[in-house]
């Protein structure tokens, strides 16, 4: 029976394995060649790869940091500051870009000619200009051209707008802030209970109450009651209003936003919103007209149609491209270096200039960005699976 | 009425639906003031627009000093490219115009009006008062070259098909030879002298052209049945797509010289090009994969049934169909790359954006950021918008998704 089988040199399975082994040898050989060159070059300079430098003193300042940082901190800590700054600007950027993007997307569908045209012109302008040009223009042409601090514009609040940035009133934690955090936690738990209870009732009776609205109200109610209680019994509100004022050449108090942060943040938001608007528009337009007509025929009103029929279906089309927009925004935040905001890339660049450790810095930086991308896409894939059409 | 309906039924002729016609007031009422809240919204928007647009226009026409752009126009366009060699760039442009004219005649024979409109743009450039006589003449030649190509294509559309393809394929090497130079004929212009819009364009063109074959290979690798090949392709594509372009450029600037044997020295521009190619290849691979996935399985089966082997199936049956579907996406990728090349300014190259900081450092033009960056943004916008418009037309002309 085996006598008629083909010889092994013409057996496709064997050939495939041989091809793969050749490929593997070629790729690994090529990579080894590059690695060998690199090690030789580095050894000549006395810079063999090691991550030991991360525990050395950095000795440079970083303008903005979310965790305590000074000149005497280590390179590792400087990296961490950069990572946190990147996360901060990306997270805020994602939230605001989504809001602005949805507004623009809905404007783009408006039957009001003026609103519609404004949205489409905005989208066409923003999408065809590089983000970096937009950021530089925004930074040097708008935020740095604000009046000097002496002639600063004082907006109601008081919010002080000058070429040193924007300072606005902000809450400052007082002695009772910790207690208040516990009250907020209780509120969160209560809201979760309300959520679970209403959902079960909804499932049993077939009439789903406004779950989100009620649980939000519960949380807000507990938060408000806690605040009033603390004021009445502990005679101190958990947050004190901290208003900024001008002292010499700088502003003191309140929330200070540097021009670099503002330029990067608003640039990212304005840019990404134009892309998100197109995603949202395509999503809403993908819901067929018959669905809306059917919902109307069943007696749903306009809001119910939107909430129960249009949105859940549009979301399925929106989520995948939205994920890539979020990822793009996170990756685009690396352009901060051009306008001097100390994000991951910028800090890594400074570290490289000081230590000359190109390989380690590049590796670390790429690994961090890669894990951001991975984390975002894992979360969005999970969410996408949750809202996906349940097919038989 | 009855009569007409009957007539319609008997002759089988279908009348076009009635077009809506409005008076100006009727149009306004329908589109701007249909309900009270729309009226409110419209008025509010008009007010906001007035607040934003009026000072902008006042600034653009009265306060802005555009002298900085006029004086440095050559720097913005070609950077430090030697003045006595600029004719080479013009030759490349005229050849491009000729090719475009030919392609227009063959692929878009019906869109004459838009073609004529496009011809007006170079004439508009030629009419600019502040450019040199040499440039005036060359813009006119540019139009004439386009017209010559179009005339040739209209005269012999069938016979010109093949030369057009050859011209398109040969354009890239010719372009590089023209700009870089060939030793005995044309003086070599080192890449560190390339700059401005010229460098931006070249980075994008080199990026898309060189990453094209790489992308095809990666896409085929990702669809391959060989697990090791597949694994490496996926790893490469996903790693590159997961990191920002600046980090790839950073790596290309700093690590590429380390990877190469010490006797090979490459300059900044080539390193940036390498970075852009490596980056673009991953995205190209995903686009090509999209094209590959659109090919029905029957095509593979039919090819096998005809006795073609794997190589033949891929290169003679699958790829030609997949790549045809991918063309519009490729144009979009080119536009994205064209915009992305601005990031080379971060690693210190003097592209259109990078040259701006040089211009702004001139003592005479300190503090002219708004003028300079607006001008640059305008250039980027015009090119990207024109290309995306063309790509939408191309999509219709190629009939993607219809066959």
Determine the pLDDT at residue B399. Answer: 64
Are B94 and B6 members of one domain?
A: no
Mean pLDDT over A165-183 rounds to 84
Are B322 and B343 members of one domain?
A: yes
* Strand (E) or helix (H) holding A162: strand A159-162
Are B55 and B171 members of one domain?
A: no
Provide the CATH number for the domain around residue B282.
1.10.3720.10
Long-range own/partner contacts, residues B129-138 (CB < 8 A, 24 or more apart):
B130/B70, B130/B73, B131/B73, B134/B86, B138/B90, B138/B93, B138/B94
State how far the Cα of B403 lies from the Cα of B399, in Å rounded to an integer.
Answer: 7
Q: B348: closest CA among B225, B238, B192?
A: B192
CB A112 to CB B41 under 8 A? yes
Q: Tell me the two tokens of residue A36.
A: 């060998």
Determine the pLDDT at residue A251. Answer: 78
Close Cβ partners of A177 (under 8 Å, ≥ 6 residues apart): A238, A239
Are B28 and B151 members of one domain?
A: no
State how far the Cα of A57 lies from the Cα of A74, in Å rounded to an integer.
Answer: 4
- From residue A183, alpha-carbon distances to A186, A190, A239 in Å are 5, 11, 14
Residue B115 lies in a domain: yes
Residue ranges in chain B whose pLDDT is less than 70: 1-13, 19-21, 398-403
Q: Tell me the two tokens of residue B130.
A: 């502040």
- From residue A102, alpha-carbon distances to A118, A274, A275, B32, B45 in Å are 15, 9, 10, 22, 18
| A31 lies within 8 A of chain B by CB | no
CB A128 to CB B384 under 8 A? yes
Residue A100 lies in a domain: yes
Count CB neighbours of B255 within 10 A.
19
Burial level of B52, CB count in 10 A (0-12/13-18/19+)?
Answer: exposed
Determine the pLDDT at residue B112. Answer: 80
Long-range own/partner contacts, residues B105-108 (CB < 8 A, 24 or more apart):
B105/B149, B105/B150, B105/B151, B105/B152, B105/B153, B105/B154, B105/B157, B105/B160, B106/B153, B106/B157, B106/B160, B106/B161, B106/B164, B107/B394, B107/B397, B107/B398, B108/B393, B108/B397
Provide the CATH number for the domain around residue A302.
1.10.3720.10
Q: A183: closest CA among A238, A123, A120?
A: A238
Query: Domain range spanning residue A91?
Result: 82-142+261-387
Burial level of A199, CB count in 10 A (0-12/13-18/19+)?
Answer: middle
Determine the pLDDT at residue B28. Answer: 81
- Decide: B332 and B391 in contact? Cβ < 8 Å: yes
CB A370 to CB B239 under 8 A? yes
Q: Is the peptide bond before A158 cis (omega within 30 degrees of 0)?
A: yes
- From residue A74, alpha-carbon distances to A37, A56, A83, A362, B242 in Å are 30, 5, 14, 18, 28
Close Cβ partners of B179 (under 8 Å, ≥ 6 residues apart): B88, B89, B92, B189, B194, B198, B202
Quick one: how many helices (H) and strands (E) in chain B? 19, 0
Close Cβ partners of A9 (under 8 Å, ≥ 6 residues apart): A15
- Most B CBs within 10 Å, among A34, A45, A126, A128, to test the B interface: A128
CB B353 to CB A374 under 8 A? no
A4 vs A39, higher pLDDT: A39
Task: Find tokens 């951001």 and name the residue.
Answer: A372
Residue B372 lies in a domain: yes
Determine the pLDDT at residue B2. Answer: 45
CB B226 to CB A16 under 8 A? yes
State how far the Cα of A172 lies from the Cα of A185, in Å rounded to an integer.
Answer: 19
Residue B403 lies in a domain: no
State how far the Cα of B240 lies from the Cα of B285, in Å rounded to an integer.
Answer: 11
Share of chain A above pLDDT 90, in %: 39
Count CB neighbours of B79 within 10 A.
23
Domains contained in chain B, number: 3
H-helix segments, chain A: 12-45, 75-108, 113-127, 131-136, 177-205, 211-229, 259-286, 289-297, 302-304, 311-332, 344-355, 358-387
Are B228 and B275 members of one domain?
A: yes
Residue A299 lies in a domain: yes
Q: What is the pTM of this model?
A: 0.86
Residue B345 lies in a domain: yes
Determine the pLDDT at residue A391. Answer: 58
Are B181 and B223 members of one domain?
A: no
Close Cβ partners of B35 (under 8 Å, ≥ 6 residues apart): none
Residue A150 lies in a domain: no
Are B221 and B243 members of one domain?
A: yes
Are B278 and B321 members of one domain?
A: yes
Residue B76 lies in a domain: no
| B342 lies within 8 A of chain A by CB | yes
Q: How many CB pairs under 8 A join A and B?
A: 146
| A24 lies within 8 A of chain B by CB | yes
Determine the pLDDT at residue B381. Answer: 94
CB B370 to CB A34 under 8 A? no
Query: Domain range spanning residue B269?
Result: 195-395
Least confident segment among A37-41, A217-221, B218-222, B398-402: B398-402
Q: Tell me the two tokens of residue B82.
A: 């030697």
Domains contained in chain A, number: 1
Determine the pLDDT at residue A237. Answer: 80
Count CB neighbours of A269 within 10 A.
22
Residue B13 lies in a domain: yes
- Most B CBs within 10 Å, among A130, A327, A368, A381, to test the B interface: A130
| B48 lies within 8 A of chain A by CB | no
Are B159 and B209 members of one domain?
A: no
Determine the pLDDT at residue A64. Answer: 83
Q: B195: closest CA among B99, B91, B86?
A: B86
State how far the Cα of A143 lies from the Cα of A185, in Å rounded to an integer.
Answer: 39
Are B341 and B203 members of one domain?
A: yes
Residue of chain A with shortest Cα separation from B388: A128
Q: What is the DSSP letter of A252?
A: E
Determine the pLDDT at residue A389. Answer: 66
State how far the Cα of A210 lies from the Cα of A199, in Å rounded to an integer.
Answer: 9
Are B246 and B184 members of one domain?
A: no
Per-residue pLDDT tens digits for A110-149? 888 888 899 999 999 999 999 999 999 999 888 888 888 8
State how far the Cα of B277 lies from the Cα of B252, in Å rounded to an integer.
Answer: 10
β-strands A159-162, A170-173 pairing:
unpaired
Task: Closest CB to A37: pick one of B242, B260, B377.
Answer: B260
Residue B341 lies in a domain: yes
Determine the pLDDT at residue B403. Answer: 45
Determine the pLDDT at residue A205. Answer: 86
Chosen domain end from B31, B63, B95? B63
Residue B20 CA, chain-centre distance (Å), reads 37
Residue B69 lies in a domain: no
CA distance A110 to chain B (A): 10
Determine the pLDDT at residue B93. Answer: 92
Mean pLDDT over A214-226 rounds to 91
């Amino acid at each position: 029976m085996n006598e008629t089988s083909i010889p092994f040199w013409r057996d496709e399975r064997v050939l495939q394995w041989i091809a793969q082994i050749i490929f593997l040898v070629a790729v690994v050989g090529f990579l080894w060649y590059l690695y060998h060159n690199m090690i030789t070059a580095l050894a000549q300079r006395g810079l063999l790869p090691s991550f030991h430098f991360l525990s050395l003193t950095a000795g440079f300042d970083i303008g903005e940091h979310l965790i305590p940082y000074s000149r005497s901190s280590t390179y590792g800590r400087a990296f961490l500051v950069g990572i946190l700054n990147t996360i901060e600007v990306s997270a805020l950027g994602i939230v605001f870009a989504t809001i602005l993007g949805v507004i623009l997307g809905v404007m783009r569908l408006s039957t009001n000619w003026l609103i519609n045209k404004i949205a489409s012109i905005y989208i066409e302008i923003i999408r065809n200009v590089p983000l970096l040009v937009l950021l530089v223009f925004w930074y040097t042409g708008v935020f740095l051209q604000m009046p000097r601090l002496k002639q600063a514009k004082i907006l109601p609040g008081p919010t002080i707008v000058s070429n040193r940035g924007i300072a606005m009133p902000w809450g400052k934690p007082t002695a009772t802030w910790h207690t208040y955090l516990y009250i907020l936690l209780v509120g969160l738990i209560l809201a979760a209970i309300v959520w679970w209870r209403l959902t079960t009732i909804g499932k049993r009776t077939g009439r789903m109450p406004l779950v989100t609205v009620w649980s939000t109200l519960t949380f807000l109610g507990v938060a408000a009651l806690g605040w009033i209680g603390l004021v009445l019994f502990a005679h101190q509100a958990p947050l004190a209003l901290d208003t900024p004022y001008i002292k010499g050449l700088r502003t003191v108090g309140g929330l200070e936003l540097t021009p670099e942060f503002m330029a990067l943040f608003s640039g990212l938001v304005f840019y990404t919103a134009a892309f998100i608007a197109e995603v949202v528009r395509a999503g809403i337009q993908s819901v067929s007209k018959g669905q809306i007509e059917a919902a109307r025929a069943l007696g749903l009103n306009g809001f119910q149609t939107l909430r129960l029929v249009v949105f859940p279906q549009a979301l399925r089309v929106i989520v995948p491209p939205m994920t890539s927009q979020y990822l793009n925004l996170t990756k685009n935040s690396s352009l901060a270096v051009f306008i001097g905001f100390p994000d991951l890339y910028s800090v890594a660049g400074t570290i490289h200039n000081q230590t000359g450790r190109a390989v380690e810095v590049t590796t670390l930086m790429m690994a961090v960005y890669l894990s951001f991308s991975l984390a975002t896409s894992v979360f969005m894939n999970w969410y996408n699976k949750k809202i996906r059409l349940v097919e038989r | 009425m009855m009569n007409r309906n009957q007539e319609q039924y008997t002759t089988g002729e279908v009348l076009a639906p009635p077009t809506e016609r409005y008076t100006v007031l009727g149009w306004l009422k329908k589109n701007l003031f249909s309900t009270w809240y729309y009226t409110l919204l419209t008025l509010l928007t008009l007010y906001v627009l007035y607040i934003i647009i009026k000072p902008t226009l006042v600034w653009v026409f009265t306060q802005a000093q555009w002298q900085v752009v006029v004086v440095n126009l050559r720097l913005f366009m070609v950077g430090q490219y030697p003045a006595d060699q600029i004719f080479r760039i013009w030759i490349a442009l005229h050849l491009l115009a000729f090719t475009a004219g030919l392609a227009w005649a063959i692929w878009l024979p019906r869109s004459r009006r838009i073609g004529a409109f496009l011809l007006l743009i170079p004439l508009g450039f030629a009419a600019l008062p502040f450019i040199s006589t040499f440039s005036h003449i060359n813009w006119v030649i540019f139009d004439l070259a386009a017209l010559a190509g179009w005339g040739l294509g209209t005269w012999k559309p069938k016979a010109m098909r093949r030369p057009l393809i050859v011209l398109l394929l040969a354009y890239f090497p010719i372009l590089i030879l023209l700009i870089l130079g060939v030793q005995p004929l044309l003086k070599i212009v080192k890449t560190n002298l390339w700059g401005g819009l010229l460098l931006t364009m070249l980075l994008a063109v080199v990026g898309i052209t060189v990453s094209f074959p790489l992308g095809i290979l990666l896409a085929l690798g990702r669809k391959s049945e060989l697990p090791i090949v597949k694994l490496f392709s996926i790893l490469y594509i996903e790693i590159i797509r997961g990191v920002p372009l600046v980090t790839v450029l950073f790596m290309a600037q700093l690590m590429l010289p380390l990877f190469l044997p010490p006797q090979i020295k490459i300059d900044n521009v080539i390193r940036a090009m390498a970075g852009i190619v490596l980056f673009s290849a991953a995205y190209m691979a995903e686009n090509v994969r999209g094209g590959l996935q659109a090919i029905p399985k029957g095509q593979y089966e039919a090819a096998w049934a005809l006795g073609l082997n794997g190589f033949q199936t891929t290169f003679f049956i699958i790829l030609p169909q997949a790549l045809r579907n991918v063309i519009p996406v490729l144009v979009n990728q080119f536009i994205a790359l064209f915009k992305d090349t601005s990031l080379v300014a971060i690693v210190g190259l003097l592209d259109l954006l990078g040259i701006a900081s040089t211009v702004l450092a001139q003592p005479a033009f300190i503090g002219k950021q708004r003028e300079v960056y607006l001008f640059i943004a305008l250039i980027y916008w015009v090119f990207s918008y024109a290309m995306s418009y063309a790509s939408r037309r191309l999509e219709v002309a190629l009939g993607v998704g219809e066959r």
